[in-house]
Structure 1
């Protein structure tokens, strides 16, 4: 895979009366054939949802769907019987499998900021499942946290050999990038980081195969790392 910097200004931007969203990869009515996903990673949507609004009940199948709440609270309800809130610093993983219907609604008076991530599974038509964990990397900075994967150190099990990690890195601190797969993709939520010769700002991402460290250039550097199979 060729190394490339995915600039934040190349993301799709869709604004409605209740949703302000940035699409890293083609999604819905925004399509750019240059950006159709990386490896098994298909979707990164950076969503801000207005108060008392949200996504009504709708179906999915054969997709691993992660939600990461940055600020605010979203209420989840699905056809598996799960119903509850996901707060800032919490993650949800819904393995859609043979099919599931769900809704994600902001029932509070302030906006909610979250990331929605889709990863293609390596097992199709499995029984749907739901997982939820709380881990705010700001409380445990300067280390990688494996949110989803198939090894014992992962907080949630994903139906793909990928790993999804996050870190909050203090200014001037450096973390190693110890890769399991050939395809890697790091997305910056906030702050500024350097990977190799590339400087990344909020909304930027780097797809790469051969970098081995990341350095924070600002005090509030918050990143997502996807270690992906072909």
Structure 2
């Protein structure tokens, strides 16, 4: 079964310096039909004005992944980490028993465009931790590159959940497929461009949920960047 979540159906919030689309219920946006998908709880697409951002705030018992599409994000946290996240970087912060952090647009001239992803961990109360890795354009070109997984295989960042995140860039005749084990879910989010998933045409911001499907197939990309989540029920 395949169901489409179109870009225009997402929740939207504007706070002057921040514009954000919510794929799932978040903050003031609440839709009981879209509370998450398996352990995938949040995909927020944010545009942050130059020099602005989220002041120090706390999280706990959540796997938080930041994926920058344009610009750069300055991160600081109570574990002592401080870095600037740029396109190609995948940042994972396991909030566990509790962590404080801040995120700001590191540029005073240009906007930042990113996806913030929350995945519920497979257990609570773990020690907070942080990880960051870079994946080049070549890593993702015409294929689904594993960037987050529970076993950190193939150079992926480690998350505390039986979930896997793949990222790919597709254009023209490039195509890729992913076998889905019985009982697994898949969620596909088109970050930009256009492509088809199992024959369903999608544009920037669109997503599809796959349930009881054995194969996920991506083709007919037009300057597309896509995130694919392989998830437990």
Which band: TM-score by shorter chain? over 0.9
Unmatched runs of 5 consecutive residues or more in structure 2: none
Quick check: which one's strand share is greater? 2
- Deviates further, 153-162 or 58-67: 153-162
Q: Aligned equivalents of 1:140 and 1:189: distance in 2?
A: 14
Unmatched runs of 5 consecutive residues or more in structure 1: none
Matched, 1:20 2:19: yes
Write the deviation string for residues 51-86 of structure 1: whole angstroms up to 9, x where unpaired: 010000000000000000111111000000001111
TM-score by length of 1: 0.95
Q: Aligned equivalents of 2:54 and 2:180: distance in 1?
A: 35
The alpha carbon displacement at 1:172 in A equals: 2.4
2:8 counterpart SS class: helix
Q: Name the residue aligned to 1:206.
A: 208
1:191 counterpart SS class: strand
Task: State how 1:73-152 maps to structure 2 within 5 Å.
Answer: 73-108=72-107, 109-137=109-137, 140-151=140-151, 152=153
Q: Number of paired residues? A: 229
- Deviates further, 142-151 or 90-99: 142-151
Q: Aligned equivalents of 1:138 and 1:115: distance in 2?
A: 21
Q: Alignment RMSD, CA only? A: 1.5
The alpha carbon displacement at 1:3 in A equals: 2.5
TM-score by length of 2: 0.94
1:47 counterpart SS class: strand
Task: State how 1:1-230 maps to structure 2 within 5 Å.
Answer: 2-108=1-107, 109-137=109-137, 140-151=140-151, 152-180=153-181, 182-209=184-211, 210=213, 212-230=215-233
1:153 counterpart SS class: helix
The alpha carbon displacement at 1:153 in A equals: 2.2
- Deviates further, 190-199 or 158-167: 190-199
